[in-house]
Amino acid sequence: MKKSNLYVVAVILFVVLGSASLVSAKGHGGSSLRDPYVWEPKTSKEKIIEHVRIGADDKLWKHSIYQIGVELEKMKEVPLPPEVLEKLSAYSQHVLDRLFKSQDVDDARKISEALTLFKEKGVKNFPDIQKALHHQYAVIGKKMLDTLRERCRNQADVKNILRDIDAVLVAGVSLQEIEVSSVEEMRDLALCR
């Protein structure tokens, strides 16, 4: 065998054996260095704190409330750490404000569900959530009726309006609270009479 070929074989052996010894050392605790590129999943606590921060964004708050709910469900049997309780207590007022600003039945319901979950997990200083939701449903119902009254002028989608009005009535809001005298009056409004 030529000297040049022997040299190539020697280099290959050196590389292969060297790699094998490194793998062996890692397997037996020989390397304690952490790979900076290895992704480590966040804990539920970290995710909740992160979504409390993200939830301040006007465009991301719905997603954040949902994600916080998912993580709280995972921690259902575990007391929340004081740090998380503190963050959620501050955040809950922001979420309550969202409830009172909501103009959509589904949004209001989802927000109230999130607040209920916060309360169940020990977040303090809450008002009566169902009372707050009832109030906002009445506000939304009134708004829908006003839209219905304007319907002949702006061609709004009557089907969706009636769906939302029906949802607030099913939730326990009275006709008087949304300022309509009867179902017949609502029907007449829908038919532009």
CA 14 – CA 137 distance, rounded (Å): 75
pLDDT band at 138 (very low <50, low <70, confident <90, very high): very high
| Res 97: pLDDT | 85
- For the cut 70, the answer to whether the pLDDT of residue 30 exceeds it is no
Residue 150 to residues 154, 164, 165, 191, Cα–Cα distance (Å): 6, 16, 15, 12
Computed over every residue of the chain, the mean pLDDT equals 76
Tokens (6 digits) for 161 = 């309006």
Tokens (6 digits) for 100 = 């009172």
Among the residue ranges 27-31, 46-50, 120-124, the one predicted with the least confidence is: 27-31
For the chain, the structural domain boundaries read 40-127, 128-193
- For the cut 70, the answer to whether the pLDDT of residue 13 exceeds it is no
- For the cut 50, the answer to whether the pLDDT of residue 33 exceeds it is no
Its pTM stands at 0.63
List, for residues 65-111, the tens digit of each pLDDT value.
Answer: 888 888 888 887 788 888 888 888 888 888 888 888 888 888 888 88
Burial class (CB in 10 A: 0-12, 13-18, 19+), 55: buried
DSSP state of 37: T
